Structure 1
Amino acid sequence: MTVSKHFVLAAGGTGGHMIPAHALAAELISRGHRVALITDARGAKIPGLFDGAQVHTLPAGRLTKNPSSWPGAAKGIYDGRSMALRLYESFEPSAVIGFGGYPAFPALLAALKAGVPTAVHEQNAVLGRVNRLLAGRVDAIATAYPSVARMKPDWNGKTHLVGNPVREEILKIREQDFPPLDENGIFRVLVTGGSQGASILSRVVPDGLGMLPLNFRRRLQVTQQCRAEDIEAVRARYVQLGVPADLATYLPDLPDRLSWSHLVIGRAGASTIAELTAAGRPAILIPLPSATDDHQTANVREMVEAGGARSIAERDFSPVELAKQMQKLGLDPAALANAARRARACGRPEAGRDLADLVESLSPAAIPPAPIKLKPAFA
């Protein structure tokens, strides 16, 4: 019989932090537990997440390299910790789990002060700033990749490879066959640049597709996420090229779009890669060069080495290079299906379950050194 517990999840307001937290919340709620979320104003506004959970927005304080910002950041962190402590007095969490981002920092500091068990989940292949600051003090570290940079050997005993939890709608795609494709069939391309789109994709992708051989270009059917300021220019370019394209600033039905796509073009964020590998979809990925510690380049390495994706550095991302990579992947249906299988092999579809098992093990007893069902991330 499952004993109901209370858990607090703390995540910064980007999809990369919020989506895995949402997936864990759904798993914990399905097990009969109560969940509260701590985030910022951005996270609270993301639609379709955290049904059935309490949502609290707290001041976080953002530490930058500018010393003049430090007093304000320190006050924000202190105020956020104080508010989190008051929440814990009434909610009485069994554990607090941080997913990175500045709102997770005061939430975890409050848990450490209150003696509440803690864990952090790292979605990227490089340990993020907030997780790095607290990794030595928390009870458990969950990782999405077998190798994570900026980890210390002293943390190996409490580090567990679980993967990056994804939404149930994405996991259902894994059970489906790769969409049928022959040399004359419709070739469906999904272009996504994250929650706000990416202007470089709007500039390069239409022209790159326009350079494909005519017989290939006539087969294309494109769905592309664009920034609002780019969408009309992109639409006009596809009309000029004669390529059917469905454009939107936000794709609420992204799992459906992904399910019938033959190829994805996008950034290399942790959630994007987790969804691609869970679903089994090949991709051309362009890591965001300004990402902290260049973590998107690290994120894509496993999928590229497995043969499930191709990576193009942003400095090299041109219409000519995109067209070249598209032809290598797209002109041979058997090769594309093989890339899809290789992408799928990188997936960790049990990530939500395994992370929930780890979280449940935190309370009341200390985390065991080698939990059943979980593999240590480092031997």
Structure 2
Amino acid sequence: MNTISVLYLSIIGLLLISPLGCKDTNLNLNHEQQTLTLTPIEERKVNQDNSFSIDLFRTALESASPNDNVLLSPISASIALAMLNNGAIGQTKDSINKALVFDGFTEEQINAYYKKIIQILPNLDPQTKLEIANSIWYHQGFDVSSSFLKANENFYHAKIAALDFAAPDSPNIINDWVSESTQGKIPTIVDQISPDMVMYLINAIYFKGSWQEKFDASKTSEMPFLRNDGSVLNTDFMNISKDFNIIDNDKLQGIELPYGDGQFSMFVLLPSKEQSANDFAKGLKDSDELGEIYSEFVKAETNLFFPKFKFNYQNKLNDELSKLGMGIAFTEKADFTGISEKSLLVDEVKQKAFIEVNEEGTEAAAVTSVGVRVTSMPMIHTLKFDRPFVFFIRENNCGLILFTGIINDPSKEENGH
């Protein structure tokens, strides 16, 4: 029997909760459930979404504290930024496509793919709850392209709402939607709205799944967890002995923990003691490498010890996304004329996430907010001619000067000699 004790690394989450609906899981079910059938183009898009997931995760870890837990939902960021991308033009669109690994897909293909994901993913497993919601909030009176709003309403089922951003209760209205969309796990995403902010594009994801093989709470007991800094934490570990898909070699231990009917799973990876979890994650090259690791999992009788945990995480993703190639979107060179004729830029991309893992299963939520504001207002120059000055009067087509003069005393009417 293999014994896997997850007790060495900081918990680092990428929401490795993988949908398996596009595969034949050979389940004998007594109820109807939707399946996710992907075209070859859509399968390639899944692979590129996973590449973005690894890129974002790896980049975020560069600035993360080695003692902090980390939790990201790359798919939440992808969906929110895909909505933004519908209003991006030229080099700005190219930069978003580069960062999100959208290259090689048309806007129509991207939108159709996410529409399918949003519609079908929540219906793959009736025993697992998955909700995906989108919204666009814009400042009342701000002129927004109707085609931009229509595209996001049609493909992303986005709630569209105009709000008086100057009203004190506007943040509460947005936050109420966020809280409702995440079952209260993420109560807020907007703290206050600055005067130059004109739009928020928001994605919310909520997940709740029960383990296919539940842990017996009576077997939960305190065990030592070795932190990165060498200190030891005594914390609650769950225990179960069952057949699981695992990997167990000199470099890596790992386990697949399925939820419900097996359409979603958590994959947990524990590198050898010679390599920290942070370094392992930073060393992941791409989604193909992760796929190779998955392919080495085999079913074996396993005695698992796994810690319970619960935490929140938030991150402003501007730096990460800039490093991945979309830096122009955060500058005054940005072109979002597909949203409005006004000059706009992305002020911030903020993500908040929550996860709780216990004997029953996993509850997780994430919200990504893309705040869009007008670029800096044109500088107003104050010119006060309160000292002697020179003036010319000229014809502007050919530049012929008609008069020249100096004002030394504006009150003096009779001058000359």
Asked if these proteins are the same fold (TM beyond 0.5), I'd say: no
- TM-score, with normalisation over the residues of structure 1? 0.29
Larger Rg: 2
By percentage of residues, which structure has more strand?
A: 2
Question: Relative contact order (alpha carbons < 8 A, sep ≥ 6): 1 or 2 greater?
Answer: 2
